[in-house]
Structure 1
């Protein structure tokens, strides 16, 4: 019973965090536009959040090891509360960029602590259920936070205070617990070369999704404001985008379990690129068409990252899931940081509608890259794949999310075996000296038979015929 109460208390804390985060993210974009911030400044606000989030994901484990989960979580929530209130007191672009970075740092830390705590409470039988509930709660709470802006509006102090209350209330579930502290958070294990050798398509997908969704998430509210939507209209516009994106993960994920996941990546990124092109050409004003196109974009774009993670895991060596997924998170975070800045410059030169040129270009790049990879490698048989797991793009997750993911169980088991035997699992059956070498300049060079990334069942590599495909 105590474990059940603890789990639901952590779910509540996470929901309050995501509610405040959903409200704050949408609020700052719209209120910044109302205050006359430049498009570049609005883009850099989104960049600041991503930079802070990545920095927090890397450094917060050290803080937790020093002071423990409860104290660290309380500090993160308190600083996050102070930050959103300072957004209200210091209404200028430079302050908001800096404060947004600090907010991203605190949000990453708080999310990591909740997720590591859930990871310790979960066992092998309950891990899948807990992970699914956690993802669902994150999606629902963030969407509710966005909808809340339709009630609070953007003027005055009310939306900032509501967000601050939500953040500080998130402390209560952990502060009141009498259970022992969890084990310290492990620092994220990253290996970009391993990710590249395992699945170049997944690496390209992570960056493309970061660029497109970072630009869209930060600056689409500004586009809506420029098109004449009020606070309620923008809130519902983004709510329907998030809801359709969440709903799409189930059918899209199940489809990707049955066919080559790269076909799904091509279809979804192609649809997202098409929607971007339609928005660019039509440039709709207020009306049903805008809601339809934004909903279609959410349906197409939101599941892509989760499919890419599943695709990388299909071809990963046993024990490498957490390392590969963490590396994808780093690449995603880089795209999330760069995308808003690039989109803001395009919007400044060509008008607000130029935002969708960025989403169109990077989704097109992903579709083309996935198609080219299909011509190089055969698909993994459906019976050998790990089941798809829904997940949020990590504005509401952290590297600890991947440790909670049921697919991490194999990673933990394999890593324990590695530590016991002294062996080092290497991607694609490559020999250790090949694994440690720098990746080839040509991505296709990694597809030679002796180091084919997406065939983790290779055996007797030395006996394979050599070819230069």
Structure 2
């Protein structure tokens, strides 16, 4: 196994997590300070999701033409340029366009990077290696809001920090090889409906975690503010959720290499359901902090186990194609989650965020117990 390449690719993708962890809450808090309502902030949070859908349709063709490594580097640099423009041109309409472009560029990096990581992983360590990547990514998002708290939200330092991180992610990929073989149609995004019918629980889990992640970074700080917490505590709540995601992914990956991955997948859904329902009742008690840890861990476990289950089934073109479908589903989740939560928060319930997550978790639990694809043998091409 190419350990140097594994850690380089992980680092490049993780640089995105840290950059987004710094910039996404800053965008939401800046809009809040400008007087925009929940729905407008939700629209901004959902905009990159449209870019995700576009990026998923372009990744394979672009990788076949320019090469996986070169394309990932170029997209990281384009993402850095877009974040720089967020700092330089502070206008809602311009920000919507920039967030759309960021979604396209960084989605290409995610598709190719996660395919590359899964391709490098040997089967007996797959759970731990994918979980290690997931832990690093979650820690990067944890560090983002903490770093933003240290930098402050009154200046554009958070944006410029994001620029530097994305440039660094591009540089670390210099000279790396061994990426999955990609032809022009591998990640075209075709066949999403077939993928969803074949593995409905995995498809829903990806959308649910995407909605969760978009809402944690963009709407949870606003939720905290509107429930009476200070800005510092609201940002700390985001960090605690991501701590749960980060700290417990390695134990989940370790378990995934030793017990039934399907059973573990279902258990994560149950924990997410229970913790989501409990948040409104325990929000102003000391129990909210361990509850937020469980909330983050169970949501993160759904995505980590989805990647593990996909990685044990596919290789090369099929793996890139499957990750393109993951990106499309991610885009749908990022689009629906913030828009729905922003609307419901404004017009129906201030506790829309945890209640909608509970609804999504309940759907997953039903699908996971009915999904025969979870117990199916790995697809052809497994080695």
What TM-score range do you get, normalising by the shorter chain? 0.7 to 0.9
Contact kept in structure 2, 1:153 and 1:232, CA below 8 Å: no
The answer as to 2:341 corresponding to 1:366 is no
Contact kept in structure 1, 2:245 and 2:301, CA below 8 Å: yes
CA distance in 1, matches of 2:59, 2:326: 19
Match of 2:242 in 1: 242
In the TM superposition, what is the alpha-carbon distance from 1:131 to its structure 2 partner? 4.6
Change (3 A) 1:209 1:156: closer
In the TM superposition, what is the alpha-carbon distance from 1:113 to its structure 2 partner? 5.1
Match of 1:261 in 2: 262
Q: Deviations over 1:8-45 (max 9, x none)?
A: 54444344333212212232222322222221121112
Match of 2:149 in 1: 150
**Root-mean-square deviation over aligned CA pairs:** 3.9
Contact kept in structure 1, 2:55 and 2:104, CA below 8 Å: yes
Match of 1:343 in 2: 341
Match of 1:279 in 2: 279
Contact kept in structure 2, 1:192 and 1:327, CA below 8 Å: yes
CA distance in 2, matches of 1:259, 1:74: 37
Change (3 A) 1:39 1:385: same
Change (3 A) 1:363 1:183: closer
Change (3 A) 1:15 1:212: closer
Larger Rg belongs to: 1
Point out the more displaced range, 299-308 or 186-195.
186-195
Change (3 A) 1:183 1:259: closer
Change (3 A) 1:344 1:241: same
CA distance in 2, matches of 1:216, 1:223: 10
State TM-score, norm by structure 2: 0.80
In the TM superposition, what is the alpha-carbon distance from 1:363 to its structure 2 partner? 1.4
Q: Deviations over 1:169-201 (max 9, x none)?
A: 2232235x4x67967644326533443443433
CA distance in 1, matches of 2:269, 2:155: 39
Change (3 A) 1:87 1:229: farther
Change (3 A) 1:66 1:156: same
Match of 1:200 in 2: 200
Change (3 A) 1:208 1:162: closer
Contact kept in structure 2, 1:257 and 1:385, CA below 8 Å: no
Match of 1:93 in 2: 92
SS at match of 1:156: coil
Match of 1:79 in 2: 78
Match of 1:444 in 2: none
CA distance in 2, matches of 1:363, 1:77: 33
In the TM superposition, what is the alpha-carbon distance from 1:234 to its structure 2 partner? 3.4
Question: Where in structure 2 are there 5+ consecutive unaligned residues?
Answer: none
Change (3 A) 1:31 1:67: same
* Equivalent runs, 1:8-157 vs 2, <5 Å: 8-69=7-68, 71-112=70-111, 114=113, 122=120, 128=126, 131=130, 133-157=132-156
Contact kept in structure 2, 1:191 and 1:324, CA below 8 Å: no
Change (3 A) 1:270 1:159: same
The answer as to 2:294 corresponding to 1:296 is yes
Change (3 A) 1:185 1:29: farther
CA distance in 1, matches of 2:311, 2:235: 35
Q: Deviations over 1:382-441 (max 9, x none)?
A: xx977xxxxxxxxxxxxxxxxxxxxxxx75468xxxxxxxxxxxxxxxxxxxxxxxxxxx
SS at match of 1:170: helix
Change (3 A) 1:142 1:208: closer
Match of 2:191 in 1: 191
Question: Where in structure 1 are there 5+ consecutive unaligned residues?
Answer: 387-409, 415-469
Match of 1:174 in 2: 173
Contact kept in structure 2, 1:22 and 1:144, CA below 8 Å: yes
Change (3 A) 1:190 1:84: same
CA distance in 1, matches of 2:121, 2:308: 22
SS at match of 1:174: coil
Contact kept in structure 2, 1:209 and 1:363, CA below 8 Å: no
Point out the more displaced range, 187-196 or 218-227.
187-196
Contact kept in structure 1, 2:131 and 2:252, CA below 8 Å: no
CA distance in 2, matches of 1:183, 1:197: 25
State TM-score, norm by structure 1: 0.67
Instruction: Identify which of structures 1 and 2 has the higher relative contact order when contacts are C-alpha pairs closer than 8 Å and 6+ apart.
Output: 2
Change (3 A) 1:33 1:292: farther
CA distance in 2, matches of 1:131, 1:367: 23
